[in-house]
Structure 1
Amino acid sequence: MCEGLSKSSSVAVIGAGAMGAGIAHVAALAGHRVILFDVKKDAVSNAIRSIETALGKAIVKGKMCEAEAQSAISRIVAVNDISEIKGVGLVVEAVAERLDVKRKIFADVEAIVEDACILATNTSSISITAIGAQMKRPERLIGMHFFNPAPVMALVEVVSGLATSRDIADCVYSTARDWGKVPVHTKSTPGFIVNRVARPYYAEGLRSLSEKVADAASIDALMREAGQFRMGPLELMDLIGHDVNFAVTESVFSAMFADRRFAPSIIQRELVDGGFLGRKTGRGFFDYSEGAERPEPTIEPLASAPENVKLGPKSSSGAKLQERLIDAGLLVSGERTAEPDVIAEIDGVFLMQTDGRTATKRASEIGREVVLVDFAQDYLATKRVGVSRSMQCAEPAYRAIVGALQRCHYEVVPLKDVAGMVVMRTVAMLVNEASDAVDQGVCSAEDVDLAMEKGVNYPIGPLKWADEVGVELFHRVLINLREHYGEERYRASPLLSAHRWGRMPIHSNAKIVSKLSA
């Protein structure tokens, strides 16, 4: 692999907004002389002040000494004319997300810099191929997509257009690594890796809300605690800003030629149209005004303990939940229920993990009352689980299940009987989208997992998740979701299907199988 940019090479950053300032900060701290330019003169001085403030905070926290901070600041040079970037080894553009603006900048830059200079854009959504289409030497244009705030976030997507030289891509990859970042290679396709693979996290949260599966606070709580995500999807969209999140969704949906997997939500459009953009306007899914109380998730009131609990087969997908039932001392004998996929039989009611079918359908198929439990990353660790009941399930039978779960020290969130529930459908769709990205050659299996862990702080990469839980389960969930809704949205990725039928782990073998099926 090509070595990264030499420390003796200067870096030019064009655009001194939040992202440009962050990139300049990272490059200067890595030892490069940084030339910072913006058409707005005050933007550059503001950027340098923000960098000084950030470095000052790092000194207070003991992350660097004052000499290091002063040295980094001294390497940043403000310029008033773009012609002063001549002689740099790398240009990183970080201006508005407009194709015409970026094309104009790179036309100007090409006329100034030397032929060996690498040209990079920090775009998060615009095609690298389209930006470079009018350049004299598009092979030296690369995407270098940092995440905000650039000094803090580890991930950098190294994005290659159709014309991008592999040597250039490798050099920028190594440069990002030398700058202390975690780089991943990706092709220039809509959303690259992170903004593409993350779409289901928002989409399924919005769909759960639109189907009245639960209230917003309960959906977020389940995703945080059972799914182990840093934030729930609804509170995360409030943080990002609904105008920004909706615009990205619309962009990816349009670029994917209206693929229904990426369809925007009417609920989110209403928020945008009403100016309820989230935290920045004081209201989104939640009220952020001064003195407003944050709603608590809905939980079932305390129910009586059940009289009879029998575990299901040892091969059950809810083995860790079975352990909690044992630890709670609820078993009256060692007898087990033989019915497949049953976690436990509690006062005659089957407790089962969702597989994408509704509780009502499963009850109809097996002729028994059924309560479903939503997916949890770790049933031993989580304090909250979601449950849904079949129409056939009487109130006393349902209360017996609730009582048993409460004796396991779970807070029980009641959910409407909807296919896939909340956490399971979301994780299955994340696994599916990651599989498609690899299958379509956007990135490697290793890079999609790394990107989602480092770019959006997922608890585990989607393909690692599939291997850990079982490819077969997620594949079954998707097949059942598609049958239930009759929508292309839930079609299973060919790569996921290949690994399900081949009974092979997907993270370590995805590259091999993708090549064989190409």
Structure 2
Amino acid sequence: MNEVTTIGILGAGTMGAGIAQVAVEAGLEVLLHDPIAGATDRGRDRIGGFLARKVEKDQLTEAERAAAADRLSTVGTLEQLAAAELVIEAIPEDLALKRDAFRRLDGAAEPDTILATNTSSLAVAQIASATAHPDRVIGMHFFNPVPLMALVEVIPGPMTDQAVVDSVAFLARLLGKTPVVAADTPGFIVNRVQRAYYLEGYRILEEGLADAATIDDTMREIGFRLGPFELADAVGTDVNLAAGTAIFEGFYGDPRYRPSLVQRRVVDAGRLGRKTGAGYYDYAADGTRGLPWSGITAHAVDAPRMTPHSAAQIEARILAAIVNEAASAVADGVASPGAIDTAMRLATNWPDGPLAWGERIGLGSIVRSLDAFHASVPDGRYRVTPLLRSLADGGESFFAPRS
């Protein structure tokens, strides 16, 4: 593959504009296009505004800002993006839309142009199969906000050429990011493992064992930047539900990934998180978190009356769930233990990777907790990953070679 000096970006919304911004700051030429009328110009203006604010904060000189702005060009058609050596698609998470875009890009681009998708939950293989050259299609999943988040998941499809993987990893480093290669499985690394963080919090609420604020405050006390409900509000409850549904379907309805009725209730009520001023919580005009929404409180009250969970019980359930899911990802060949822990630290700001944290707690303790949960809810959601049980039984580590 040729050295990448010019990239095309399809989609000028939050993600596309963020990718374009870091690219022009890194010295790359960028071609930007969005098929929605007016969106390309809005994206360009958004990038210009962010660059100007960096000058105000003494993070860029005026000369650096002007040079970066000059490296950004807008184009009027998707096909014009094909002049770039690499095109990154950052349009909505709709498989039909993405397949059509890749079909058109594939027809317009030179044979050695790399086509990357910023999908967070769709299979790269399904997108690549819309092209005649799936060997040049790859996932390049950035995290929001792009200028601040250090991780890029690099996801080869089953036909992706190794040279494409190497080129995309090199580009990620050029953009100041840490690339982590992940297998093309539902949720890749971060969205898969983080699903356990959300879902166990939702289950505790559904069971009437703690309210959202208690769960969130408990997790922040042990070092998580945001609790599961606060995090869903920050991401967008609609986005979170859509990603969770895609992962659940990708695993053929495995109960471990089943979305919560609480999620559906919040989304159906139009409470989409901080962006609408209301989600699991109500938010003041200055963004201060208010009380949990009474709609989810009422849902939890419908649950059978049980003794409320202590902070230690909340911690134990959520930590066991994320360690088990991370172990499952290792067992499925998604990535190495070290790569999974690196990805989770960088993308989520967790205080440690889940596997290292699990070893500090003790893998045997994690397994015993999961077995106890499974005995009370034997639908499969708490089944222990065989690799985790094997390591616990043998006193072994995820990070040491197995004999």
Fold equivalence (TM over 0.5): yes
**Structure 2 vs 1, CA of residues 210 and 79 (structure 1 numbering), >3 Å: closer, same or farther?**
same
Contact 2:277 2:284 in 1 (8 A): yes
**Structure 2 vs 1, CA of residues 238 and 41 (structure 1 numbering), >3 Å: closer, same or farther?**
closer
Task: Determine the C-alpha separation between the residues in 1 that align with 2:70 and 2:183.
Answer: 36
Contact 1:97 1:123 in 2 (8 A): yes
**1:321-400 pair list within 5 angstroms:** none
- Tell me if 1:220 matches 2:216: yes
Q: Which protein is richer in helix relative to its size?
A: 2
Task: Determine the C-alpha separation between the residues in 2 that align with 1:204 and 1:10.
Answer: 43
- Tell me if 1:425 matches 2:347: no
Q: CA deviation at 1:293?
A: 7.8
Over the matched positions of the two proteins, sequence identity in percent amounts to: 41
Alignment-derived partner of residue 71 in structure 2: 75
Alignment-derived partner of residue 244 in structure 1: 239
**1:48-63 pair list within 5 angstroms:** 48-63=44-59
Alignment-derived partner of residue 384 in structure 2: 492
- The runs of at least 4 consecutive aligned structure 1 residues that moved more than 4 Å come to 289-293, 417-420
Task: Determine the C-alpha separation between the residues in 1 that align with 2:71 and 2:229.
Answer: 41
Task: Determine the C-alpha separation between the residues in 2 that align with 1:41 and 1:70.
Answer: 26
**Structure 2 vs 1, CA of residues 134 and 483 (structure 1 numbering), >3 Å: closer, same or farther?**
same
Task: Determine the C-alpha separation between the residues in 1 that align with 2:382 and 2:50.
Answer: 44
Alignment-derived partner of residue 182 in structure 2: 186
- Tell me if 1:6 matches 2:6: no
- Unmatched tracts of structure 2, length 5 or more: 293-305
444-453 or 57-66, larger mean C-alpha shift:
57-66
- Tell me if 1:208 matches 2:100: no
1:479-500 CA-to-partner distances (Å, cap 9, x unmatched) read 1211222231111111211211
**1:31-110 pair list within 5 angstroms:** 31-110=27-106
Task: Determine the C-alpha separation between the residues in 2 that align with 1:417 and 1:463.
Answer: 24
Structure with larger Rg: 1
Amino acid at match of 2:59: K
Alignment-derived partner of residue 254 in structure 2: 259
- Partner-residue secondary structure (3-state), 2:217: helix
1:15-65 CA-to-partner distances (Å, cap 9, x unmatched) read 111111111111111111111112235212211111111112222222222
Q: CA deviation at 1:184?
A: 0.6
Contact 1:28 1:34 in 2 (8 A): yes
**Structure 2 vs 1, CA of residues 111 and 478 (structure 1 numbering), >3 Å: closer, same or farther?**
same
**Structure 2 vs 1, CA of residues 228 and 120 (structure 1 numbering), >3 Å: closer, same or farther?**
same
Alignment-derived partner of residue 416 in structure 1: 308
Task: Determine the C-alpha separation between the residues in 2 that align with 1:477 and 1:166.
Answer: 41
Residue of structure 2 aligned with 1:277, choices 272, 275, 281: 272
Residue of structure 2 aligned with 1:444, choices 333, 336, 349: 336
TM-score of the superposed pair, with normalisation by structure 1: 0.71
Q: CA deviation at 1:472?
A: 1.6
Q: CA deviation at 1:417?
A: 5.0
- Partner-residue secondary structure (3-state), 2:185: coil
Q: CA deviation at 1:200?
A: 1.1
- Tell me if 1:288 matches 2:287: no
1:197-255 CA-to-partner distances (Å, cap 9, x unmatched) read 00111111111111222222211111101x21001111222222222211211111111
Residue of structure 1 aligned with 2:16, choices 3, 17, 20: 20
**Structure 2 vs 1, CA of residues 241 and 293 (structure 1 numbering), >3 Å: closer, same or farther?**
closer
- Partner-residue secondary structure (3-state), 1:156: strand
Count residues with an aligned counterpart. Answer: 389
RMSD: 2.2
**Structure 2 vs 1, CA of residues 88 and 283 (structure 1 numbering), >3 Å: closer, same or farther?**
closer
Q: CA deviation at 1:419?
A: 12
Alignment-derived partner of residue 144 in structure 2: 148
- Partner-residue secondary structure (3-state), 1:258: coil
- Tell me if 1:137 matches 2:29: no
- Partner-residue secondary structure (3-state), 1:426: helix
Contact 2:180 2:339 in 1 (8 A): yes
Contact 2:8 2:86 in 1 (8 A): yes
**Structure 2 vs 1, CA of residues 49 and 258 (structure 1 numbering), >3 Å: closer, same or farther?**
same
1:370-394 CA-to-partner distances (Å, cap 9, x unmatched) read xxxxxxxxxxxxxxxxxxxxx9xxx
**Structure 2 vs 1, CA of residues 273 and 81 (structure 1 numbering), >3 Å: closer, same or farther?**
closer
Task: Determine the C-alpha separation between the residues in 2 that align with 1:160 and 1:194.
Answer: 16
Q: CA deviation at 1:468?
A: 2.2
Q: CA deviation at 1:77?
A: 0.8
**Structure 2 vs 1, CA of residues 499 and 218 (structure 1 numbering), >3 Å: closer, same or farther?**
same
Alignment-derived partner of residue 228 in structure 2: 233
- Partner-residue secondary structure (3-state), 1:163: coil
- Tell me if 1:166 matches 2:58: no
**Structure 2 vs 1, CA of residues 444 and 55 (structure 1 numbering), >3 Å: closer, same or farther?**
same
Task: Determine the C-alpha separation between the residues in 1 that align with 2:101 and 2:277.
Answer: 36
**Structure 2 vs 1, CA of residues 248 and 468 (structure 1 numbering), >3 Å: closer, same or farther?**
same
Amino acid at match of 2:282: D
Contact 1:420 1:481 in 2 (8 A): no
**Structure 2 vs 1, CA of residues 17 and 290 (structure 1 numbering), >3 Å: closer, same or farther?**
closer
Alignment-derived partner of residue 125 in structure 1: 121
- Unmatched tracts of structure 1, length 5 or more: 297-390, 392-414
Contact 2:8 2:82 in 1 (8 A): no
Amino acid at match of 1:33: E
